[in-house]
Amino acid sequence: MKQENIRNIAIIAHVDHGKTTLVDKLLRATDAFRENQKVEERVLDSNDQERERGITILAKNISIEYKGVKINVIDTPGHADFGGEVERVLKMADGTLLLVDAFEGPMPQTRFVLRHAIQAGLSIMIVVNKIDRPGADPEKAYNDCLDLMADLGANDEQLEFAMEHVVYASAMNGFARLDPADDNDNMYPLLDMILDDMPAPEVDPDGPLAMQCVTIDHSEYVGRIGIGRVYSGSIHTGDTILVVKNDGTQSTATVRQLFTFDYLGRKECDVVEAGDIGAVVGIERTDIGDVYTDPENPIALDPIEIDPPTLSIVFEPSTSPLVGREGDIVGARQLKERLMLERENNVTMKIEELEDKSGIEVSGRGILHLSVLMETMRREGFELQVGRPRVLFKKDENGNKIEPIEQAVVECPEEYSGKVIEIFGTAGGTMVSLDASGLVTHLEFKIPTRGIMGLKNRILNVTHGDGVFYHTFLEYGPYAGDIGGRKNGAMISMSTDKAVAYALGTLQERGTLFVAPGDACYEGMIVGESARPGDMVVNVAKTKNLGNQRSSTSDISVQLTPPRTFTLEEALEYITDDELVEITPQNVRMRKRLLSAVDRKKAAKK
């Protein structure tokens, strides 16, 4: 039977298309906040990095109540690097809102999440957002969504549902309309459509318990908390349940506490009914995909498969001469403990200690996925160093080497498209399509993940900052052979000292600098990029020899170009195999793995 008093919906969208803002307005429309309550914008982006980056990293559950019906809303990450979250949480939904920007239409990462929603058989309702944006074309965005759904293999039923259920909205201004020309100024048309047309959960409330854990939360007081949807029966506090793992192993456990989602928080309860989403406390070592069922009448559910990691990075304790100056936590033991705790909470990452105990290998879905963990740790006071990201290769059935392939999309003015195609050609990419019919040229490529590293800066340079670049994991494909890395050599400091303006003035003529006067440098640290291939050892602390004659002011003043600065992701993409990124709470520095020039020469001869 259908549980008519519950709706479970996911919201999927590309980064920055207004998904989290839409949820804000739905909460306000259903009186989730007191009239005088001060609420931050994008209230679901609770993580500091989510707010700063403007992206959703963790899938979250909330619930709203409208006309006596509980609507569980699942906010999914829009970035492909956090796809491990997406695949699982869609299992809890019966329908999804496909949110697209009326100006941009569906983007590559919309494609990634939408493919999973279609494969899960969900009903898809289209919400065309930002219809008041200059240059918006809601009809084109709507038609592009239908084309994309057909391209991804949506069945006739899903396509018909999407054609009949479209809402035009401006989440920022808090309105949703069935026709862009309407003058409605609230969100109720969208809420009414969810209630009237989104399918209610199809459940067996009187059958044996069947619940599957799709998300793990962690509390230092009660341990792991399994979050999932009850497909049949109901679960009560104090119940003895059978826990069936993905590999088929079974054990029994007692439910100590139960919670359901209530607006932005959780509410403790004694029972979670069929069709609802709940959180269960008391199951030791619970994991993604665990099925909680009746010990006497067990029900089998399909195991949950998570796409495997595509990149790995080795985390090591810092060996920099400046270690301990900026961070409080520098020891190898603390680093290991922190990463093992992350392994408990973050099932989308694979975290293993190296055999020689020199570091911890962390594997994830992309550089952004891995850098979010590094950024979190540096904010906690850690100092560490990491090597170059390494692509994880596989073997196919015939024993051939295969590697992760990405779908990359570039939108740029037409005059730069030739340069963009040339850059992808040198990085192992092949062009799939070119569309020059709009205001900008739309280019699509297939490119190995190895070739993506460092590409964003090159594209921004050749498009003079006017290019937009997105990429998302597509599939594992044949090994593409050698791909050239960084062409230019590095400028490497020869001494441990502060950089001096006089020295930097002479060095900037020979390349690009990464440090400014007064910056602390050490032997082996990368302080710039040479204009030529091959590394160059330089003296950043060289001062002018002063004679006994007074020099004119013009002689001693040095005109310095501002140094090039790197974000954490840019630094990871920039370094080569013999280099490291040093991460501290205040700085991101790049350095050679071997700090001494003598040691590097010896290693080169081996």
Please choose, from the candidates 283, 275, 284, the residue with its C-alpha nearest in 3D space to the C-alpha of residue 258: 283
Q: Give counts: helices (H), strands (E), the chain.
A: 16, 35
CA dist 360 and 314 (Å) reads 5
554 vs 4, which has greater pLDDT? 4
Residue 12 tokens read as 């999927």
Instruction: Read off the pLDDT of residues 128-175 as tens digits, 9 standing for 90 and up.
Output: 888 888 888 888 888 988 988 888 888 899 999 988 888 898 878 888
- 31: CB partners within 8 A, 6+ apart: none
pLDDT in tens, 543-565: 877 665 555 454 456 788 899 99
Section 181-204 average pLDDT: 85
Nearest CA to 148 out of 118, 180, 173 is that of 118
The arithmetic mean of pLDDT across residues 385-402, rounded, is 88
- Quote the pLDDT of residue 79: 45
CB 160 within 8 A of CB 150: no
Tell the residue number behind the tokens 């006067």, with chain if given.
517
Q: Which residue has the higher pLDDT, 154 or 346?
A: 154
Tokens of 305: 């498969």
pLDDT of 259 strictly over 80: yes
Single-letter residue type at 370: L
Residue % of the chain over a pLDDT of 90: 14
pLDDT at residue 306 in the model: 66
Q: What's the rounded Cα separation, in Å, for the pair 380 and 272? A: 36
Confidence of residue 60 (pLDDT cuts 50, 70, 90): low
pLDDT number for residue 307: 66
**Sign (positive or negative) of CA dihedral 418, 568, 360, 348:** negative
Residue with tokens 């005059």: 415
- C-beta of residue 275 within 8 angstroms of C-beta of residue 230: yes
| Confidence at 220, pLDDT banded by 50, 70, 90 | low
Describe the crossing of helices 188-197 and 19-29 by its angle, rounded to 10 degrees. 90
The predicted-structure confidence for 424-443, as pLDDT tens digits, reads as follows 988 888 999 888 876 778 88
pLDDT tier at 41, thresholds 50, 70, 90: very low
217 band by pLDDT with thresholds 50, 70 and 90:
confident
Q: What is the 3-state composition of the chain as percent helix, strand, coil, each rounded to the nearest 5?
A: 25, 30, 40
Question: What's the CA gap between 387 and 314, in Å, rounded?
Answer: 6
Q: Of 598, 460, 445, 591, nearest to 514 (Cα)?
A: 591
CB atoms within 10 A of CB 324: 12
Q: What is the dotted CATH code of the domain comprising 210-293?
A: 2.40.30.10
Q: Is the pLDDT of residue 513 over 70?
A: yes
Half-sphere exposure for 92 (CA within 13 Å, toward CB): 34
Residue 417's DSSP bridge partners are: none
Confidence category of residue 206, pLDDT binned at 50, 70, 90: confident
Lowest mean pLDDT among 79-93, 287-301, 560-574: 79-93
DSSP per-residue letters across 471-520: EEEEEEEE---------S-EEEESSSEE--HHHHHHHGGGEEE---TT-E
Query: Is residue 526 scored above 70 in pLDDT?
Result: yes
* Position 45 confidence tier, pLDDT thresholds 50, 70, 90: very low
Domain assignments of the chain as residue spans, ordered by start: 6-197, 210-293, 394-478, 490-605
Pairing of strands 265-269, 257-262: antiparallel
- Domain spanning 490-605: CATH superfamily: bipa protein (2.40.50.250)
Task: Give the pLDDT score at 385.
Answer: 93
CA distances from 396 to 285, 391, 475, 516 (A): 33, 16, 12, 49
Are the C-beta atoms of residues 269 and 260 closer than 8 Å to each other?
yes
Q: Please tell me whether residue 63 adopts helix, strand or coil conformation.
A: strand
Q: Which residue has the higher pLDDT, 48 or 570?
A: 570
Q: How far apart are the first and last CA of the chain?
A: 72
- Where residue 253 falls among pLDDT bands split at 50, 70, 90? confident
Task: For residues 198 and 591, give the distance between their C-alpha atoms in angstroms, rounded to a whole number.
Answer: 55
Residue 584: which pLDDT band, with cuts at 50, 70 and 90? very high
CATH number for the domain running over 394-478: 3.30.70.240
Strands 291-293 and 265-269: unpaired
Distances (CA, A) of 329 to 168, 377, 387, 521: 50, 10, 19, 21
Is the pLDDT assigned to residue 375 strictly greater than 80?
yes
Residue pair 483/450 in contact by the 8 Å Cβ criterion: yes
Rounded to the nearest integer, the mean pLDDT of the chain is: 81
Per the structure block, which two tokens stand in for 112? 């990634």
Which of left, alpha, beta for 78 (phi over 0: left; psi -120 to 50: alpha)?
A: alpha
pLDDT of residue 49: 43
What pLDDT score does 36 carry?
A: 37
Amino acid (one-letter) located at 565: T
For residue 313, name the pLDDT band (cuts at 50, 70, 90): very high
What's the CA dihedral at 20, 25, 29, 35 to 10 degrees? 110
Mean pLDDT of the 283-287 span: 78
Binding site feature residues for GTP: 16-21, 129-132
Q: What sign has the CA pseudo-torsion 313, 108, 80, 431?
A: negative
Residue 154 contacts residue 118 (beta carbons within 8 Å): yes
**Residue list, annotated binding site:** 16-21, 129-132
What confidence category does residue 80 fall into, taking pLDDT thresholds of 50, 70 and 90? Answer: very low
Q: How far are the Cα atoms of 259, 432, 581 from residue 247, in angstroms, in the given order?
A: 27, 39, 38
* CATH label, 6-197, candidates 3.40.50.261, 3.40.50.300, 3.40.640.10, 2.60.320.10: 3.40.50.300
Cβ count near 509 (within 10 Å): 7
Query: Is residue 282 within 8 Å of 253, Cβ to Cβ?
Result: yes
Q: Collapsing DSSP states into helix, strand and coil, what is residue 354?
A: coil
Q: How far apart are CA 234 and CA 241, in angstroms?
A: 11
Check whether 493 has a pLDDT greater than 90.
Answer: yes
